[in-house]
Structure 1
Amino acid sequence: MSTVAPASRLTGALLFAAALCAGATVANIYLAQPIIGPIAAAFGSSPQAAGIVVTAGMLGYSAGLLLVVPLGDSLDRRKMVGGLSVLTALLLLGSAAAPSLPVLTLFAGLAAATTVIPQVLIPLVAQLAEPGQRGIAMSWVQAGLLTGIMGSRVFSGQLAGLAGWRWVFAASAALTLIVGLWTMLVMPADGPRGSPNYRALLRSLPGYLRREPALRRACLRHAGIFAAFNTIWTTLALVLTAPPHGLTVGGAGLVGLLGLISAALAPVAGKLVDQRGPRLVAALGLLVLAAAVLLLAAGTNSLALLLVGTAAVPIGMQTSQAANQNAALTVDPSVGGRLNTVFMLATFLAGALGSAVGSFAYGSHGWLGVCASALVFLGLSALGLRRAR
């Protein structure tokens, strides 16, 4: 099945558009993380209860990965990107106008389900890139993703402090629509494609996981990494705004700027994957993230250690993603949409679990409980580093 026109190639304009669109749209999943406090206050609930909005975003994105992304192996991806951009913008406007916490949770989850645009673009970039350049090309898009994840914390926290949390969702709706439609115009036309029906696309997913041990190991490695990341990232604003640190919501949001260091290092990780292979780079990312969690645990009463650990967490996560997603998609680039579905579904289901565990651990055992939970997830990730027999 040919998924891209033979004359298509990866241009600088397409790579830039894909990275920008990935960052602008992935931010929609994380908008609620730094503003859990204001959302809880608006609806008269506890911060722990308001954390359901974050978990709904993870679960919604997971549903979109399963139900929407496989269509990238069959439908016109330009139309997919345009349609998803419009639908996501409308759902974000619904989030902005939500009259209650359950309604906000519903709209935020649905918006996350349709904001899977980056996972439509990444397999396209992987397929159009030359094999020896695939790692670094993917890493540029992943740099955009991580910039969006980190930048969403700054954007959300600052805008909520200035205008209220509802404007966070409204502004994101406008940004998603503008960037998504522009990216659609830059994308190449898909060539002749096979036309498996929707049920056939979904039925094929377990088979790839069953037949491909490299895909299974990549999924396990990154599921543990992303669960640990979300355990920390969901609750970080709570510990930063609580005594003894006592930062404002806006100040806690600015901490997200530290994550941009990892986005700048993404091409380095991608080049290392091309040169040394994904397993070694995945192990390096795991070690960096484990060290970061230990620093965060030591920073319970030290803002300096907390900030250093916060900067290191996304470096470990980004390094791991560059390795693990490359390993998953190189199994068979011609069906990259479905391979990416399996990989990202495992990743975000684990992320949803990490968000829920983080909120529970913080409420029950404080920040040290959060850090201990993250280390358990990293231990599970290490099991995926075993060599195939």
Structure 2
Amino acid sequence: MLLMSVAVGLCVAANYYAQPLLDTIAHELGMSSTAAAWVVTVAQVGYALGLVFVLPLGDLLERRRLVCGLTLATAASLALTAVAPGTGVLLAATALTGLLSVTAQVLVPFAADLAAPEQRGRIVGNVMSGLVLGMLLARTVSGLLSGVAGWRTVYWAAAAVMLALTAALRRMLPRYRGTAGLRYGQLLRSTARLLWEEPVLRVRAAIGLLAFACFGVLWSSLAFLLAGPGYGWSDGAIGLLGLAGAAGAVAAQLAGRLADRGRTTLTTGAGAVLLLGSWGLLALGAHQLAALIAGIVLLDLAHQGVHISNQSLIYALRPEARGRLTSAYMTCYFAGGALGSALAGVVYSGAGWNGVCVLGAGFAVLLCVLWAAGVPAVRRRWEQQSELTAVLNATLMAACVLLAGALLIRLL
């Protein structure tokens, strides 16, 4: 389990090395801030494609062989990023790395399969702590290493680490073959069918999409704020700020234990409210470092609490289809990250940091509404309303959505 936690962290880190380096990469390759933000976006899109077309193979193929093949290919794509001569090759290599580093999501249900049912939440939380630390350390290490030896060295070092990880996984992982009994085409179709057949999966996928959109909005635009005139930080300093999100690792373990006790609804609601509150602190963080750090800590803690609660619920649905359940959920999840990253670059160019905070808060509001609508007591009260009250409430909600949309259009 320790090796799997480390492996998950290293695999997911491949998608986050670029975030504190965006300003440096943009200057060297002659990219605008909007184009540089696409480095993050294509990584998320590539990851989402991997979740759709690669992750379901975990229910079909021998998992140790699949994992080792993916990590080896990831090492090659990181090396291609290191030698990228221009924007086109950089974006293509980044997308390929995202596609292949889906290994992290092959390992999470693998760990769930190996765990006893009464310990599944804790085991998933521990493995996901490795994922959180991988995201954090990726930013910190890449920023520090770039400051010493340049951003390309970051990717050469990452490629070497992935080669070493492949050897360790090949030696220590147990053999495990999925029991789906389906062909590849049938696997893909059954993944889509799970979204249709499982209402819990649909709701949790939507919640995960909005939570990770908040995460993508923050980390796709933060480097531009910190490298700008207000702060003027170097790559190394920007990377160190990523350590402020270490609370996410604590949240992952706590949420896993609460999930084992059946407290997922409470954890999700608390996370949704904290996500919304974090954007108020982040807005103040445009000129106040303490508020910025507090906002990052709060956002990462809340995001991980929501995410682990989601995973604990969906893994309990169909044990024989955990790879496909993960594929369906994580595809929606990373689609949210890609959406948040893409919009953050556009909004930052047009409306600055304040516009980014409004965008993130908008995603958090939608998450709070979606969670509240799924709480049994709220749903029963809604169903017991008079027809007039229901119409008035629906009109108010629609007006709020339209107002948020109009504000976003104005910012763009």
TM range (shorter): over 0.9
1:244-299 deviation digits (Å, cap 9, x = unpaired):
22222211110011112321342122111111332211111112222111100122
Q: Separation in 2 of the partners of 1:105 and 1:227? A: 21
CA contact (8 A) 1:61 1:114 kept: yes
Q: Does 1:301 align with 2:248?
A: no
Instruction: Single out whichever of 243-252 and 22-31 deviates more from structure 2.
Output: 243-252
Which sections of structure 1, spanning at least 5 residues, go unmatched?
Answer: 1-14
1:354: which partner in 2? Answer: 340
The answer on 1:327 being equivalent to 2:325 is no
Selected match of 2:200 from 206, 211, 214: 214
2:100 partner amino acid: T
Distance (Å, rounded) in 1 between the aligned partners of 2:228 and 2:268: 34
Instruction: Give the 3 Å change call, closer, same or farther, for CA 192–59 of structure 1 in structure 2.
Output: closer
Q: CA separation of 1:33/1:185 partners in 2, compared to 1, >3 Å: closer, same or farther?
A: same
Show the counterpart of 1:240. 226
Deviates more, 1:125-134 or 1:145-154: 125-134
Residue 259 of structure 1 aligns to which amino acid in structure 2? G
Identity between Structure 1 and Structure 2 (%): 37
| CA distance in 2 between partners of 1:192 and 1:257 (Å) | 37
TM-fit CA distance, 1:191? 5.0
Counterpart AA for 2:199: P
Residues 81 and 181 of structure 1 are in contact (CA less than 8 Å); yes or no, is this contact kept in structure 2? Answer: no
Kept in 2, the 8 Å contact 1:159–1:168? The answer is yes
* Cα distance in 1, alignment partners of residues 12 and 177 from structure 2: 27
Give the letter for the 2:139 counterpart. Answer: R
Whole-angstrom CA distance in 2 between matches of 1:97 and 1:192: 37
1:131-179 alpha-carbon deviations (Å, 9 max, x no partner) = 2211111001110011011111101111111111111111111112212
Once residues 50 and 310 of structure 1 are traced to their aligned partners in structure 2, the CA distance between those partners, rounded to angstroms, is: 22
Helix, strand or coil at the partner of 2:15:
helix
Match of 1:387, as an amino acid? V
Measure, in 1, the Cα distance between the counterparts of 2:236 and 2:177.
Answer: 47
Taking a change above 3 Å as real, the CA distance of residues 313 and 194 of structure 1, as seen in their structure-2 partners, is closer
Q: Residue 46 of structure 2 corresponds to which residue in structure 1?
A: 60
Structure 1 residue 348, shift from structure 2 partner:
0.4
Alignment partner, residue 107 of structure 1: 93
- Contact 2:251/2:302 (<8 A) preserved: no
**1:9-61 deviation per Cα after TM superposition (whole angstroms, max 9, x unaligned):** xxxxxx11111000011000111111011111111122221111111100000
> What SS does the aligned partner of 1:56 have?
helix
Check 1:223–1:194 CA distance in 2 against 1; reply closer, same or farther (3 A cut).
Answer: closer
Give the match's secondary structure for 1:295.
helix
Of 164, 170, 193, which aligns to 1:184?
Answer: 170
The one of 372, 375, 379 aligned to 1:387: 375
Q: Secondary structure at the match of 1:300?
A: coil
**How far apart are 1:192 and its partner, in Å?**
7.4
Cα offset, 1:187, TM superposition: 1.9
Matched, 1:31 2:17: yes
Mapped partners of 1:264, 1:277: distance in 2: 17
2:261 corresponds to 1:272: no
Deviation at 1:370, TM superposition (A): 0.6
State how far apart, in whole Å, the 2-side matches of 1:49 and 1:230 are. Answer: 16
Tell whether the 8 Å contact from 1:292 to 1:310 is kept in structure 2 after alignment. Answer: yes
- Structure 1 residue 88, shift from structure 2 partner: 0.6
Check if 1:377 corresponds to 2:357.
no
CA distance in 2, matches of 1:276, 1:246: 46
Whether 1:345 aligns to 2:337 is no
Using the alignment, how far apart are the partners of 2:36 and 2:180 within structure 1?
44
1:165: which partner in 2? 151
Corresponding residue for 2:111? 125
Q: Is the 8 A contact 2:59 2:177 kept in 1?
A: no
Rounded Cα–Cα distance in structure 2 between residues aligned with 1:232 and 1:249: 17
Q: Which amino acid aligns with 2:265?
A: R
Match of 1:4 in 2: none
**Structure of larger gyration radius:** 2
Give the 3-state SS of the residue equivalent to 1:30 in structure 2: coil
What is residue 387 of structure 2 aligned with on the other side?
A: none
- Cα shift at 1:194: 4.5
Distance across 1 between alignment mates of 2:118 and 2:35 = 47
Report the residue type matching 1:35 in the other structure.
Answer: L
The corresponding residue for 1:204 is 190
CA distance in 2, matches of 1:365, 1:81: 42
Using the TM superposition, name which of 341-350 and 123-132 deviates more: 123-132
Q: Contact 1:40–1:47 (CA<8 Å) still a contact in 2?
A: yes
Q: Deviations over 1:342-374 (max 9, x none)?
A: 000000011001000111111111111111111
